[in-house]
Structure 1
Amino acid sequence: MPARGGSKGVPGKNLAAVGGVPLVARAVRACLGARRVTDVVVSTDDPAIADTARAAGAEAVQRPVGLAGDTATSESAVLHAMDAFEDRHARPVDVVLLVQCTSPFLTARDVDGVAARVLDGDAGTALTVAPSHGFLWREEHDAHGVNHDQAHRPRRQDRAPEYLETGAAYAMDARGFREHRHRFFGRTALVVTDAARVLEIDDPHDLARARALAPLLDAAATPTLADVDAVILDFDGTQTDDRVLVDSDGRELVAVHRGDGLGVAALRRAGVRLLVLSTEQNPVVAARARKLAVPVLHGVDRKDLALKQWCDDHAIDPRRVLYAGNDVNDLPCFGLVGWPVAVASAHDSVRAAARAVTATPGGAGAIREIATWLLGPTLHTPAT
């Protein structure tokens, strides 16, 4: 899996989160979920990408500077990674897969599909493709059809099938790949995938589309207690319905949900570290935190910096933190934690960036729902 640090179109692209998960981690998980894959290796020149890949369950290979520039080919990175893997493990590679992090909706089934066509001796190479029914045109001296005769436009059902290369996954016989040094040789097999899932991230617009599609295409996932060491909660709009009542003296009142209090108490008894983190400098935030017996940081301009410092102070890995929020000022925190969670009433951009979304709106029991994910429907404290 080539994943260099440099990208002109989308800086830091391979670490950009889609559905709350960095692109490189999404690709690693798809590969690890494939039955035919034995090892997953990420080739990178970036320490942060290497750390993220390892955390997701892959090995990381340090890519030489000469193979990490804009003109370096994916094939060169794969050949180098194969050599490094064989030196490290003292065993040969039989079939090598080239998987691209920039295809966020790659599935384990796609990966298994290309692997099987080569492993079973059906082909020397295989790739994922999507059905295509588009009429292509080229403009030179005059516009003319590429895959059709413009004077005779057959019906879709009368046309021979055509397929678009998705760029997501390729499989190659390792010996043939070393000999030919490119990804297509011998007989090439096509593995047809769902066209709705085909998206390559090359520019910021592609990334925005991927984030918007993630809630529709990703399988629903919620964390358990085994995934999380700490829960950090925004206040306004997350523990409340985002409305404020102001009396004639300027005092503010908000409504909270008793079920949320029960959920927080159960998490506290289970040994989960808790924090309320809010930009608002408001006595009501501190009062609610005291009622819940949870530490609070409020009046914070940069919530992401405060979150990082709190994790450092308590020796907590941010990748094992669940952060629940609702509005755009929560997005920087979403980028730091392993489980960014949006409440059902959150802003659209926050829902798109979340790894999980509650069914319950803020202020209506969303925190109780999150506690239920972690502890189970009865909120039992784990046995000690």
Structure 2
Amino acid sequence: MTRPGTDHPAPLTDPSGPTDSESHPMPNVLAVIPARGGSKGVPGKNLAPIADAPLVVRAVRAARAARLVGQVVVSTDDPGIAAVARAAGAGVVERPARISGDTATSEAAVLHAMDTVEQREGTALDVVLLVQCTSPFVTADDLDGVAGAVLGGADSAFTAAPFHGFVWREGESGGHGVNHDKAYRPRRQDRPQDWLETGAAYAMRAPGFRTERHRFFGRTTLVPADPARVLEIDDPHDLDRARALAPLLDGTAGRLPTRADIDAVVIDFDGTQTDDRVLIDSEGRELVAVHRGDGLGIAALRRAGLPLLILSTEQNPVVAARARKLRIPVLHGIDRKDLALKQWCEEHGINPQRVLYAGNDVNDLPCFGLVGWPVAVAGAHDVVTAAARAVTTAPGGYGAIREIASWILGKELSTS
């Protein structure tokens, strides 16, 4: 579609014209987030937690917050990813095995998702977005930027960051400049502006994308993105960098959860409510030490009306006895704590993103990836601390749970 006398496509909306919905229906804009289960470089990458949420959830949140996006779907072959995506508010397109392997392209996933959505709803798409959840700091503004570029007349658009580096390539005769003459080194302000494709967000006119079957066609617009937010998760070191940057880029550095953030509290037992040591008496019975302050904090959370749960892999009478003492439910002897937690949330109608989960060791990481507030106690395993959104100052067994209760209840705890 082009305007007479130009080679450029006409915008899908004309803000200068009438605004009634019959004359100018809203464009049908779909955001597709490819998130297959099999990642070789970083196993389970799309469910890897960054700050308060897995990568796929961060992408869903950005897409749902975008003003110009009408619908968000996650294309996946993995039931775990599908469940997390649905919990975050996205639709799910089950991706067939033929386009789920290591050589499958993102374009194939997007085309399949487009077909599925159009068949489900019986309406044609105008614009489709490809949103990569391996870019953890993509924003709603990024997505509105690329969607707006296409709605405004471009055929395709993508996020790009200004780039000033000198790119080299090594050949048989040695290194040579790619974007510069190696014999001439101009000042930055004297060089043409180069742009780096961020890999985060793309938008395409749906009919043209179907025809061309690739994301860059026709008139392509570059949409500027914040260079500080450019990061793609390709290896475990990238995950570490993202987790270090998240408090700064998310604007949550130093923030602790409050009652407004939390609908339920789930607590590991060994190493979280205890110091992770076990004493064995002469008859082989196991003994552990707990902190009275933790009991006070749990009682205050219970009186505040927060659902509570102890979740432990250990099948041990002492766990059940402690739960009875605290008058809260317990699930113990659990191999897959994340599945048990997910089921418990579903049974109680609780959004996992509003759950605080406190833990200390690697078997807590799957639960960290499921909830909105993963909390590590002081002295937790390094990888657990890195994955946590908050860390207590008190170690497990020394009042860490009371400390968490004070975050949530504040003055309410001190006066209860």
Taking structure 2 as the reference length, the TM-score comes to: 0.74
- Count of matched residue pairs: 369
**2:267 pairs with 1:232:** yes
Distance 2:343 2:90 in 1: 25
Contact kept in structure 2, 1:17 and 1:353, CA below 8 Å: yes
Query: 1:150 is matched with which residue?
Result: 182
The offset of 1:266, in angstroms, is 2.1
Which of 222, 230, 246 is residue 214 of structure 1 equivalent to?
246
Distance 2:356 2:89 in 1: 20
Q: Which of 82, 88, 93 is 1:50 aligned to?
A: 82
Q: Percent identity?
A: 62
Q: Using the alignment, how far apart are the partners of 2:344 and 2:63 within structure 1?
A: 35
Equivalent in the alignment of 1:128: 159
3-state SS of paired residue (1:26): helix
What CA distance in whole angstroms lies between the structure 2 residues aligned with 1:68 and 1:140?
A: 34
Q: Give 1:1-384 correspondences, 5 Å limit.
A: 1-121=33-153, 123-142=154-173, 143-220=175-252, 222=257, 224=259, 228-234=263-269, 236=271, 238=272, 256=291, 258=293, 260-269=294-303, 270-275=305-310, 277=312, 292-294=326-328, 305=336, 315=347, 320=352, 321-328=355-362, 330-331=364-365, 333-335=367-369, 337=371, 339-343=373-377, 346=380, 348-354=382-388, 356-358=389-391, 360-362=393-395, 366-371=400-405, 374=408, 377-378=411-412
Distance in 2 (alpha carbons) for counterparts of 1:331 and 1:60: 24
Quick one: distance in 2 between partners of 1:134 and 1:190? Answer: 18
Conserved 8 A contact 2:357-2:373: yes
1:137–1:87 CA distance, 2 compared to 1 (3 A): same
* 149 and 38 in structure 1: CA distance in 2 versus 1, 3 angstrom threshold: same
- Cα distance in 1 for partners of 2:70, 2:414 equals 38
Seen in structure 2, the aligned counterparts of structure 1 residues 94 and 227 have a Cα distance that, compared at 3 Å, is farther
> What runs of 5+ residues in structure 1 fail to find an aligned partner?
247-251
Question: Would the alpha carbon gap of residues 214 and 349 (structure 1) be closer, same or farther in structure 2, given more than 3 Å must change?
Answer: farther
Deviation at 1:228, TM superposition (A): 3.4
Listed one character per residue, the Cα deviations across residues 48-93 of structure 1 (whole Å, up to 9, x for unaligned) are: 2222211111111122322222333222221221121112122221
Question: C-alpha separation between the residues in 2 aligned to 1:310 and 1:73?
Answer: 34
What is the RMSD of the two structures over their aligned residues, measured on CA atoms? 3.8
Counterpart secondary structure, 2:243: helix
Alignment CA distance shift 1:50-1:324 (3 Å): same
- The one-letter code matched in structure 1 to 2:385 is R
Q: Is the 8 A contact 1:318 1:338 kept in 2?
A: no
- Counterpart residue identity of residue 263, structure 1: G
- Tell me by how many angstroms 1:15 deviates: 2.2
Q: Distance in 1 between matches of 2:93 and 2:288?
A: 55
Work out the CA distance in 1 between the residues paired with 2:340 and 2:143: 39
Match of 2:34, SS state, is: coil
Tell me by how many angstroms 1:361 deviates: 3.8
Q: Following TM superposition, by how much is the alpha carbon of 1:278 offset from its aligned partner in structure 2, in angstroms?
A: 8.5
| Kept after mapping to 1: 8 A contact 2:54/2:370 | no
Q: Alpha-carbon deviation of 1:99?
A: 0.6
Amino acid of the structure 2 residue aligned with 1:140: G
Aligned 8 A contact 1:358 1:369 in 2 = no
Q: Residues 338 and 366 of structure 2 are in contact (CA less than 8 Å); yes or no, is this contact kept in structure 1?
A: no
Q: How many Å apart are 1:199 and its aligned residue?
A: 1.7
Q: For 1:130 and 1:344, how far apart are their aligned partners in 2?
A: 38
More off after superposition, 224-233 vs 194-203:
224-233
Return the letter of the residue paired with 1:130: A
TM-score, normalised with respect to structure 1 = 0.79
Q: Which moved more, 1:90-99 or 1:172-181?
A: 172-181
Shift of 1:96: 0.8
Cα separation, partners in 2 of 1:307 and 1:12, compared to 1, 3 Å? closer
Distance 1:101 1:311, change over 3 A: closer
